[in-house]
Structure 1
């Protein structure tokens, strides 16, 4: 699957680091899936290879990962465990965006970067809330920040906080009363009043441990208000392609295991393994061309993002279309793998049922299919 995608010695070295993370994450799949937890051992390897700082610019102490390189690594990690890849992918993308877009005041940004580079600290945005749903739908946070002297007091609850218990910092969205807008606060995990409510009990992606972050009179300084909502046209966010890269990695893992199963399994009704059966070969061939298409769309778009920065502002619909196409294709590939495995694919003894549960989550990560289709339709109509 990787033939032709890895083109340079630099990419080979990065890929080896991703392989190491994937191998470690794979060791803990059963436990993290059963307990809806994230593995401390996997996070240790992530930090040991200095992955958290790699998407920062070289001048800041990182590796200056290109989007193409980030996706290579994220997809490979997802082959080992999609939940681990998706979880750390949020951190990687956020740091890439902050580094490239310079969204924050320099002092606040440098404070975070120092922690990431020196100690490989990890961060994620906490934006989703039970009442508002996905922040991409435009709901105003119920979490409120009230000004008190030179501090703010925050109260609220955030859901879907991936790696909640393992994060070193949270970037929390809140309605800022004195500014009458939505703002983002950088909060240290040790801040008084912060707690984690173990609410994560889902069908798939259980290993992201996306529990609730609860704030009860959390006091932060004015300087911790690092970002205010922009009313302008939203910037295209290439780093969000870590989402389809993750689900593509799950699909590749399912493809690999399905082929291995087909080559090994021989019922007593046949003289050969089922890999020699025509309808099984049809399914394998269908998986192959679907994955070829998905890889081509994903990585050609990433390459365009990297090599034509002047076009980035025009790539919003293209990025959204990649997410829609790749995540849906990943679901189709995993379904084919399940059909090859047959009834055994439903057994916990095999990995297929977990792939099936995990890959479904991609349909619920932003941007949602209906929003992408509506966007593409409006653009097509306005152009003609």
Structure 2
């Protein structure tokens, strides 16, 4: 089994960090990063060893994504969506469910998976869809528009969901890039996370063959293992990326204030009590999130064993909660780092200004703050009248 340090050696991380400003400035995809990561088998880290993969646990994958995000946040976010799909298959495998083992085999063959679930206006996300699935002899024809489709320039397999026409049923499955009816718009020009190239994907009667259907579910919240796996790994790995950004911001702040000197006090700013308080606050925030992430990813890894915590319906609250806490903590940590390191960080050449823009993307990923609070309010107080 590979270690995280072997999979992401320091020399590679420095290379990725050096490239990140160029991708951001050019608004271009991280092609060179992807090539380097593929060579090291990073795209197969969640494939079990029995399928030829790296055999990482979800806890290890979370740590790896945190490490990658500290060097190249947009690269980490983009490749995260591939790992979400493999992570979903991994949770099924832990349960003894073999229906998506072929995902491991295709990942080993070099296929790149992407996440085509997000839709404009669909605040139910996994539990509803504004896309449609028309039944045909060989399966379905999928039509709709998917937004924030990370890895747009390179994905070869796209997981989507759609409502079956005339039914209160959703179908989840995988489309192939070469299928007819897929249009990828060149519309990714954003504030941050620019290298992820998460473009809009338009589906027009795209074939979803029966053998590529992952599951059917009723509309509304449900514990279907595929939906559970998507929801859980999405929230946990997303939280991992933003936690990595927060960790990097704290590290940068420490480096910068140790070098900057106060003209009045003739001492490093690292000795200033107000700055020490603020950077300590950022460190406390990130430490708390890291501990939560490590606990919950380890709980997922315990599925199917006598250590399975069996949270039941609470799983979804835990997943949403750690994502919400991680993104908010990372945002606050980056802001504290910017506040304490001086006006030079306002320039485009500053890594911290890029982290400041990148971390804001976490506000838009589901579960957002509104849905998180609504879910907890319902769990604690019952439905609103």
- Tell me which interval the TM-score lies in, with the shorter structure as reference length: 0.7 to 0.9
Q: Distance in 1 between matches of 2:348 and 2:195?
A: 16
2:158 maps to what in 1? 170
Is structure 2 residue 283 aligned with structure 1 residue 294?
Answer: no
SS at match of 2:337: helix
Separation (CA, whole Å) in 2 of partners of 1:185 and 1:90: 15
**What's the offset of the Cα at 1:221?**
3.2
Which residue in the other structure is 1:140 paired with?
A: 129
Q: How do residues 346-365 of structure 1 correspond to structure 2 at under 5 angstroms?
A: 346-365=346-365
- In the aligned structure 1, how far is the partner of 2:203 from the partner of 2:346? 40
CA displacement at 1:49 relative to structure 2: 1.2
Partner of 2:74: 83
Number of the residue aligned with 2:256: 261
CA deviations 1:207-231 (Å, max 9, x no partner) are 2110011223434433333332256
Partner residue in 1 for 2:376: 376
How far is the alpha carbon of 1:191 from its aligned partner? Answer: 2.0
- Identify which of 86, 91, 113 aligns with 1:95: 86
* 2:198 alignment partner in structure 1: 210
1:153 alignment partner, SS class: strand
Deviating more after overlay: 121-130 vs 175-184: 175-184
Residue number among 267, 271, 293 corresponding to 1:272 in the alignment: 267
Are the counterparts in 2 of residues 147 and 178 from structure 1 also a CA contact under 8 Å? no
The equivalent of 2:300 in structure 1 is 305
What is the CA–CA distance in structure 2 between the aligned matches of 1:271 and 1:285, rounded to whole Å? Answer: 22
Aligned partners of 2:133 and 2:163 also within 8 Å: yes
Paired residue for 1:233, among 206, 223, 245?
223
Tell me by how many angstroms 1:279 deviates: 1.6
Report the equivalent of 2:4.
14
Residue 55 of structure 1 pairs with residue 46 of structure 2? yes
User: 2:351 & 2:257 partners in 1: Cα distance?
Assistant: 14
* Secondary structure in 1 matching 2:261: coil
| TM-score with structure 1 setting the length | 0.86
2:183 maps to 1:195: yes
Is the Cα contact below 8 Å between 2:261 and 2:268 reproduced in 1? yes
User: Structure 1, unaligned stretches of length 5 or more?
Assistant: 1-9
Q: Distance in 1 between matches of 2:170 and 2:123?
A: 16
Query: What is the rounded CA distance, in whole Å, between the counterparts of 1:160 and 1:104 in structure 2?
Result: 32
What whole-Å deviation, never above 9, does each CA across 1:112-169 have from its counterpart, x for those lacking one? 33221132x2101211223435615x4422x333344435433332110011111121
Distance 1:147 1:377 in 2: 38
The residue number in structure 2 matching 1:7 is none
Q: Tell whether the 8 Å contact from 1:86 to 1:246 is kept in structure 2 after alignment.
A: yes
SS at match of 1:65: coil
Provide the secondary structure at the position in 1 that maps to 2:29.
coil
Contact 2:168 2:218 in 1 (8 A): no
Report which of the two has the higher share of helix.
1
RMSD of the alignment, in Å? 2.7
Q: Partners in 1 of 2:262 and 2:148 — Cα distance?
A: 43
The counterpart of 1:28, out of the listed 10, 19, 22, is 19
Inter-partner Cα distance in structure 2 for 1:156 and 1:144: 6
Q: Does 2:240 align with 1:245?
A: yes
Contact 1:172 1:184 (8 Å CA) reproduced: yes
- Relative to structure 1, the CA distance from residue 154 to residue 293 in structure 2 (aligned partners, 3 Å threshold; closer, same or farther) is closer
Over residues 165-209 of structure 1, what are the superposed CA-to-partner deviations in whole Å (9 max), with x where a residue is unaligned?
111211122233376622123222222332310111221222211
